[in-house]
Structure 1
Amino acid sequence: MASTKLLLLLFLASLSLSLTPSLSSLSTNYYQKACPQFNEIIQETITNKQITSPTTAAATLRLFFHDCILTGCDGSVLISSTPFNKAERDADINLSLPGDGFDVIVRAKTALELACPNVVSCADILAVATRDLVTMVGGPYYNVVLGRKDSLFSKASYVEGNLPRPTMPLSQIINIFESRGFSIQEMVALSGAHTIGFSHCKEFATGIYNFSKTSQSDPTYNPRFSDALRKACSDFPKNPTLSVFNDIMTPNKFDNMYFQNLPKGLGLLASDRAMYSDPRTRFYADLYAKDQNAFFEAFGKAMEKLSVYGAKFGKNGEIRRRCDAFNNS
Structure 2
Amino acid sequence: MKFSAMKWVQSTLSGLLVLLGGSEHLLAEPLETWNDGSNKQAILDFVETAVSKLPESKRVAVFDVDGTLTVEKPQSMEMYMNVNHLCEKKKLNPQTYTEQVYQQACNQNFTWLDNHLDVVQLTAFLNETDTSAYQYSMNFLGKEANPVYQAPLKSLFYLPMAELIEYLLTNDFLVYLVSGSDETFIRGMIKEDEFDDLDQKKLNISESHVLSQTVLLHLSEQDGTYIRTYKFRPPNNWNEGKAERIRMDLGETPPLLAVGNSMGDYPMLSYLFKSASVNGLSMIINHDDSARECSYEDKELLQKAHDNGWLIISMKGDFKRLFTSSVKRVKRVKGQCKNSRRSLAKSAIEY
When normalised by structure 1's length, the TM-score is 0.27
More helix by share: 1
When normalised by structure 2's length, the TM-score is 0.26
Larger radius of gyration: 2
